[in-house]
Structure 1
Amino acid sequence: MELCNVLKYDRSLFPSKAVFFYKTAENDFVPLEAEINRIRGQKAGFTEAFTPQFKSKNLAPQDLAHCNPLIIEECYVPPNIEHIYCRFSLRVQANSLKPSGCSEPTVFALLEELAATYKACGGYKELAIRYCKNVLLGTWLWRNQNTGNSQIEIKTSSGHCYQIANTRQLAWDSRWPADAQQVLDELSEELHLALTDPAVFWHAEITARVETAFCQEIYPSQIFGEKAAQGETSKQFAKVKCVDGRYAVSFNSVKIGAALQLIDDWWDSDGLKRLRIHEYGADKELGIARRSPESQQSFYSLFINTEFYLSELKDQVSKRKPQINNNIYYLFAVLIKGGLFQKKTEKKKTQPPQSEKKIKAKGDS
């Protein structure tokens, strides 16, 4: 299969912002607010004292002892509060069953047939389980997972309520206790149905209850802006304005989505590290692409083999326990993420009219 000039998929997972709050005897939703602090930062960086060639700069002894004044936002648990809550919602749609835009009817039909055959083989079930694992493990709490024991509660539009008592008792690859495994099975079945049935309009509300130490620091999303002007905060958090006018710190929806999509361990035969779903397997920790074009494991390198993978799936669809190629799982995880997958059209160079050529020739002489 060749890539089209127009080929796009709408994303299937729609996470909201995740808002931090706490509860008191009088109120069950008190926004967790950031505070602005002015600190005296240390001049301790390499470039403060050394050139790129590792030669020491000509500095006076006191130059490196001076402070570096900073204005930053910080967020801490209020005194006498033992638990912090973080809540977001997740909407799921069956948008990976076919492209939302395609300039070639034959490619459209091929991709639609691939999704239908993948669905018949039960391939979406594996992806649903992986997304639900990240929800139930509290992966989306990021650095706040290390704050304390965390309880996860999920209320779905189907009218069900699921709960994990303590995420610290679970791990991605470990054997889950019977009650937690039942939660995973039932929740993933709901999400699986939403991924595969366009008539299902499904959403869930996820809340984490995190134990905290006295005045423990909390880590929301940080806003990436331009260099701060004099007197402005150099580090700012993402926030949501509440009905009472106060601002609760939050995670942006992209950060929540990134956590849910930490499922790509197919890039490595040992499966030692899960990556966020990405067309080139971006490894943010090391700053490298695990699925570089040279590896022939990038999304595009695999995607053009659609006919081959369709043939594989057709051979498996009638079997009691179909065996699905890991590359196919990865391809559909990217399609669920959504995006533009077309190749850029090359602009043809137009020849100037004959009359213009003659005018230019006269001018040159």
Structure 2
Amino acid sequence: MELCNLLKYDRSLYPSKAVFFYKTADSDFVPLEAEINRIRGQKAGFTEAFTPQFKPKNLAPQDLTHCNPLILEECYVPPNITHIYCRFSLRVQANSLKPSGCSDPDVHALLEALTVSFNECDGYKELALRYCKNLLLGNWLWRNQNTGHTQIEIKTSFGSCYQIANTRHLDWDSIWPTDAQAALNELSKEFLQALTDPKVFWSADITAKIATTFCQEIYPSQSFGEKAAQGEASKQFSKVKCIDGRYAVSFNSVKIGAALQSIDDWWLEDNIKRLRVHEYGADKEIGIARRSPKSERDFYSLFVNAELYLAELKQQLLNPKESINPDIYYLFAVLIKGGMFQKKAELKKKA
């Protein structure tokens, strides 16, 4: 298969912002607000005392003791509050079943046939299970996972309610207790139906209840914008304006989506590190591409083998004991993420 000049897939996962709040005797929703702090930061960076050539700068002994005034937004649990809540919603649509735009009818037909065979081989079942694991483990809480007892509750548009009593007792690769495994299995069945049936509208309301310590620090999304104006905080959080005019700190939807899509452990055999699904396997922690084009494991190098993968899946239908090629799982995870996958149209040479 050749990449055509127009090829795109709409994303299938639509998370909302995740809002932090707490409860009191008088209210079930009190927004968790950020506070602005002015601090005297230390001058402790490399460039404060050294040149790029690692030569000491000509400084007086007092120069490195001076403070560096900073204005920062910070967020802490209010005194006497023992639990913080974080809540978001998620919609799932069956948009990976076919391209939302394709300039080549043959490519469109091939990709639809590939999806049909992948579904018949129960390929979507594995992907649904992985997304649901991230939901129930609370991976979307990011740094806020490093706390005490955390309960996850998921209410779906099918009228179901699933609950994990304490995520601290679970791990991705561990054997889950019977009740937690049952919740994972049933939730993934609903998720699977939403991924594979375009007639189904499915959504979920997800809430984490986090046990906290006294005045514990909370880590929402940091917003990136233009350079802060004079007197404004240089570090600001993502926020949601509530109906009473107050602003609750939050995670932006992209950060939630990144956590849910952290399922790519197919990039290297026997590797337990799960990357966020990305065309080139971007590993932000180390700052390298795990699926560089030279490796021929990147999305585009694999995607052009669609005819080969279709033949593999059809053969597997005849031999159900065979496992699906991990590269095919990865390809469909990227299609669920969505994006523009075409090549640029070549410029016509002038006569």
Normalising by structure 1, we get a TM-score of 0.95
Other structure's SS at 1:180 match: helix
Tell me whether 1:251 sits opposite 2:251 in the alignment: yes
> CA offsets, 1:236-293, max 9 Å, x none?
0000000111000000000000000000000011122000000000000110000000
Tell me whether 1:78 sits opposite 2:78 in the alignment: yes
Tell me whether 1:96 sits opposite 2:96 in the alignment: yes
Whole-Å Cα distance in 2 between the matches of residues 49 and 165 of structure 1? 51
- Displacement of 1:321: 3.9
Which residue is equivalent to 1:3? 3
> CA offsets, 1:111-145, max 9 Å, x none?
00000110000000000000000000000000000
Amino acid at match of 1:173: D
Confirm or deny: 8 A CA contact 1:152 1:167 kept in the other structure.
Answer: yes
Which residue is equivalent to 2:141? 141
Structure 1 unmatched runs, 5+: 352-365
Whole-Å Cα distance in 1 between the matches of residues 317 and 81 of structure 2? 54
Aligned residues: 351
- Displacement of 1:194: 0.3
Which residue is equivalent to 1:12? 12
- Displacement of 1:228: 1.9
Whole-Å Cα distance in 2 between the matches of residues 53 and 258 of structure 1? 38
- Displacement of 1:348: 2.6
Whole-Å Cα distance in 2 between the matches of residues 315 and 205 of structure 1? 39
Other structure's SS at 1:317 match: helix
Whole-Å Cα distance in 1 between the matches of residues 288 and 92 of structure 2? 30
Runs of 4+ in structure 1 deviating by more than 4 angstroms, as ranges, are none
> CA offsets, 1:135-176, max 9 Å, x none?
000000000000221000000000000000000100000111
**1:323-334 equivalent positions in 2, closer than 5 A:** 323-334=323-334
Tell me whether 1:117 sits opposite 2:127 in the alignment: no
Normalising by structure 2, we get a TM-score of 0.99
Structure 1 window deviating more from structure 2 (201-210 vs 309-318): it is 309-318
Whole-Å Cα distance in 2 between the matches of residues 61 and 229 of structure 1? 32
Which residue is equivalent to 2:267? 267
Confirm or deny: 8 A CA contact 1:121 1:322 kept in the other structure.
Answer: no
Other structure's SS at 2:85 match: strand
Aligned identity (percent) is: 78
Whole-Å Cα distance in 2 between the matches of residues 83 and 153 of structure 1? 14
Whole-Å Cα distance in 1 between the matches of residues 317 and 174 of structure 2? 29
Which residue is equivalent to 2:62? 62
Which residue is equivalent to 2:293? 293
Structure 1 window deviating more from structure 2 (128-137 vs 60-69): it is 60-69
Structure 2 unmatched runs, 5+: none
**1:275-290 equivalent positions in 2, closer than 5 A:** 275-290=275-290
Amino acid at match of 1:288: I
Which residue is equivalent to 2:175? 175
Q: Which is greater in Rg?
A: 1
Which residue is equivalent to 2:216? 216
> CA offsets, 1:12-69, max 9 Å, x none?
0000000000000110000000000100000000000000000011111111111000
Whole-Å Cα distance in 2 between the matches of residues 65 and 226 of structure 1? 30
Other structure's SS at 1:20 match: strand
Other structure's SS at 1:8 match: strand
Whole-Å Cα distance in 2 between the matches of residues 292 and 347 of structure 1? 27
